[in-house]
């Protein structure tokens, strides 16, 4: 016996005893908009300038790596 469902708060099976021996597998799905988080911030109020700054820094790092042949130091 298996069960699949969308239970983002715990990844559990509501209404099922957690020690039910018949259950052999559990699959859960948790949706998360990573692109939206980067664009808008966790609270949805991030200034677009923050994303533009990250993109500019990333472009500069790639350009420097190609020009200098070395990857930039990571924080």
Residues 39, 10 share a domain: no
Domain containing residue 21: 1-31
Encoding tokens for residue 13? Answer: 């099976």
Spell out the per-residue pLDDT of the chain, length 75, in tens. 455 554 454 555 555 556 667 777 766 666 778 888 888 998 999 999 999 999 999 898 888 888 888 766 665
pTM of the predicted model as reported, rounded to 2 decimal places: 0.48
Residues 73, 40 share a domain: yes
Q: Report how far residue 58's alpha carbon sits from residue 25's, in angstroms, rounded to the nearest whole number.
A: 41
Q: Report how far residue 13's alpha carbon sits from residue 16's, in angstroms, rounded to the nearest whole number.
A: 6
Q: What is the pLDDT of residue 49?
A: 94
Residues 41, 16 share a domain: no
The CB density around residue 49, as the number of other CB atoms within 10 Å, is 8
Residues 66, 39 share a domain: yes
Residues 41, 12 share a domain: no
Residues 38, 25 share a domain: no
Residues 15, 50 share a domain: no
Q: What is the pLDDT of residue 56?
A: 93
Residues 40, 70 share a domain: yes
């Amino acid at each position: 016996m298996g069960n699949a469902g969308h239970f983002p708060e715990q990844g559990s099976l509501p209404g099922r005893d957690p020690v039910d021996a018949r259950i052999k597998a559990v699959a859960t799905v948790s949706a998360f908009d990573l692109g939206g988080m980067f664009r808008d911030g966790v609270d949805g109020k991030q200034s677009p300038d923050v994303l533009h700054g990250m993109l500019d820094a990333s472009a500069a790092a790639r350009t420097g790596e190609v020009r200098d042949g070395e990857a930039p130091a990571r924080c």
